[in-house]
Amino acid sequence: MIVKENDTHPVEFKANADLTGATVRLTARTRTGEPIDLPCSIVDAGEGLVQHVLTGELPVGTYRVELETTISGAVVTFPNKGYATLTVDRDLD
């Protein structure tokens, strides 16, 4: 997923699981940086959709992103292999 710096809109991430009754945590990290917790909420539990609303404050860069879910006490991280990618590109102005 690619967004521009200063964007302030929702972005969605999908877990390949039903998230009914789950709690979720969305974490982003550059290859050399500290993890950043991104506030998120489940928007469609049955489809496994989680939404984060961009605040325009995420620095330009490429982030590896993972969604950690807790369902009935079991922690499952999505994607199961590798990471999702969020790229924040520089705005032209």
Average pLDDT for runs of 10 along the chain of length 93 = 96 95 96 93 97 95 96 94 95 88
Please give the torsion angle defined by the CA atoms of residues 52, 45, 81 and 60, in that order, rounded to the nearest 10 degrees: -10
Task: Indicate the number of domains in the chain.
Answer: 1
Q: Write out the residue range of the structural domain in which residue 37 sits.
A: 2-89
Residue 45 identity: A
**pLDDT in the model for residue 31:** 85
Bridge partner residues of 85 (DSSP): 64
DSSP 10-27: EEEEE-SS--TT-EEEEE
Q: What CATH number corresponds to the domain at position 60?
A: 2.60.40.10
**pLDDT in the model for residue 32:** 87
CA atoms within 13 A on the CB side of 24: 27
